[in-house]
Amino acid sequence: MGSEQIRQLPGGGPLADYLDKVSGNPEAIRAVAKRWRGTAGKVNEHLGGLGSAVQNVDDAWQGGSADDFAAYMSKYGRAGEDLELAVSNCANSLDDAATALEDAKAKIGRIADTLLNDVDTYRRTNRGDTSQDTSAGISRLASSAATAAKPHLDAADDAVTKAMKDIGKYLGERDLTFTGIGDPGDQPFVPGAGHTVNWERTIGYQPAGGPNGGGGPGGGAPGGNGSGGNGSGGGFGGYGPSGPPPPGGGPAPSGKVKEWIEQAIEILKERGVPVEKMNPNDIWMIIQHESGGNPHAINNWDSNAAAGHPSKGLMQTIDPTFNAYKLPGHGDIYNPVDNIIAGVRYAISRYGSVSNVPGVVGSKTGSGYVGY
């Protein structure tokens, strides 16, 4: 419904103005929110790589300087988590604004359509009226329509204003930003005047993956990051030219967990996620190791928990990761289907498929499961 037809009616100006104010494009706003979620996901990925590198250094070296280094670098993990959570929350605020705009646009549009029908009816039933009387009657109808539309406009205005304020708050009130970490060259673990440097090689240390190198799987910067699992460090260097084992092969899920996995896969399939990236047996393998099938499971002992971001739910996601990878309408971390959706999207984003998750591959090749 365009505003010009309404504006031409006697007294139609206010309602036409309301139509103009809600003429924005909700899908364009959602597209921005989607890009922001993608950014949050990239932050999470890069933090996983950073966490792996820092963990390797922490494992390889002991002494006061090594401890100072690990403590300093953990700030990057916390700052990154704060940034990831802020950007994810900003995306949620944009989605809320888009939904409110879409709702107001539809409702005010219906009111405008009803007004045009009422005006046609009024003119047919009052053909004998003078033009002045007709204009007055139509003006009353338009005024009544504008009064009915105003609450919907106000609701959209409130939602957009709230989104703007929330975005400013999320970005401006983070506990720790990267600029607040401090210059690495000024830290006590760096050789310099007044610094007592103490780095001692860990006896018997070998890089994860053995003498041929290669980082161990898993995720999370010191201080807690990544999807869940044990919160240990770990990057991912690939599986070599022969690739990972084929999907599936492990025990199939059963009972309620089977239903939850099937529901999550169906929802993700509707969103365009390729089915071959979501093998249900491999999802079940992750769930078995992460939560034992308990949708209310919470890990309160690892580095994620120590950083204030305990792993939660069926696939043991931390809040920032869940917020980055959840789908609209599936925002309950303790809801098993919602948790699977976020965990699977994270696994696909980071490893290409759930079957490529290092812990899944490790279980099939004999090296054992590790948190993802």
**What digits encode the pLDDT tens for the residues 187-225?**
888 888 888 888 888 887 665 433 333 333 233 332 333
- Residue 135 Cα to chain centre, angstroms: 53
| pLDDT at site 206 | 61
Burial classification of residue 62, based on how many CB atoms lie within 10 Å of its CB (0-12 exposed, 13-18 middle, 19 or more buried) = middle
Give percent above pLDDT 90 in the chain.
Answer: 39
* CA separation for the pair 76, 182 (Å, rounded): 10
pLDDT digits (tens, 9 = 90+) for 330-371: 999 999 999 999 999 988 888 888 998 988 888 887 777 878
What is the 3 state secondary structure string of the chain?
CCHHHHHCCCCCHHHHHHHHHCCCCHHHHHHHHHHHHHHHHHHHHHHHHHHHHHHHHHHHEECHHHHHHHHHHHHHHHHHHHHHHHHHHHHHHHHHHHHHHHHHHHHHHHHHHHHHHHHHHHHHHCCCCCHHHHHHHHHHHHHHHHHHHHHHHHHHHHHHHHHHHHHHHHHHCCCCCHHHCCCHHHCCCCCCCCCCCCCEECCCCCCCCCCCCCCCCCCCCCCCCCCCCCCCCCCCCCCCCCCCCCCCCCCCCCHHHHHHHHHHHHHHHHCCCCHHHCCHHHHHHHHHHHCCCCCCCECCCCHHHHCCCCCECCCCECHHHHHHHCECCECCCCCHHHHHHHHHHHHHHHHCCHHHCHHHHHHHHCCCCCCC
Residue 68 has pLDDT above 50, yes or no: yes
Give the position of tokens 């991912």: 236
Residue 365: per-residue pLDDT = 77
pLDDT-derived band at 174, boundaries 50, 70, 90: confident
**Distance (Å, whole) CA 154 – CA 163:** 14
pLDDT for residue 205: 67
Token code pair at residue 338: 């919602």
Q: How confident is the model at residue 233 (pLDDT cuts 50, 70, 90)?
A: very low
pLDDT over 60 (residue 226) = no
- Is residue 78 very low, low, confident or very high in pLDDT (cuts 50, 70, 90)? confident
Among the residue ranges 49-58, 106-115, 220-229, 257-266, the one predicted with the least confidence is 220-229
CA atoms within 13 A on the CB side of 105: 16
CA-based nearest residue to 364, from 279, 291, 292 = 279
Task: Tell whether the model's pLDDT for residue 60 goes beyond 90.
Answer: no
Q: Produce one character per residue of 31-46: b if its CB has 16 or more CB atoms within 10 Å, e if not.
A: eebeebbebbbebbbe
When the pLDDT of each residue in the chain is averaged and rounded to a whole number, the result is: 82
Report whether pLDDT(107) > 60. Answer: yes
Q: Which domains does the chain have, with CATH numbers?
A: 2-186 (1.20.1270), 255-365 (no CATH)
> The tokens of 134 are what?
């007709």
Is 239 a residue whose pLDDT tops 50?
no
Question: What is the model's pTM?
Answer: 0.53
Query: Per-residue pLDDT tens for 118-168?
Result: 999 999 999 989 999 999 999 999 999 999 999 999 999 999 999 999 999
Per-residue pLDDT, 363: 82
The residue length of the chain stands at 372
Query: C-alpha angle 311/228/256, rounded to 5°?
Result: 80
Long-range CB contacts for residues 119-123, cutoff 8 Å, separation at least 24: 119/9
CA atoms of 229 and 219, how far apart (whole Å):
8
Q: Which two three-digit tokens encode residue 204?
A: 């018997």
Mean pLDDT of 41-46: 75
Which pLDDT band, with edges at 50, 70 and 90, does 248 fall under?
Answer: low
324-333 mean pLDDT: 90
Query: How far from the centroid of its chain's Cα atoms is residue 142's Cα?
Result: 43
Q: At what angle do helices 336-351 and 280-290 cross, to 10 degrees?
A: 110
Confirm if 260 and 336 have CB atoms less than 8 A apart. yes
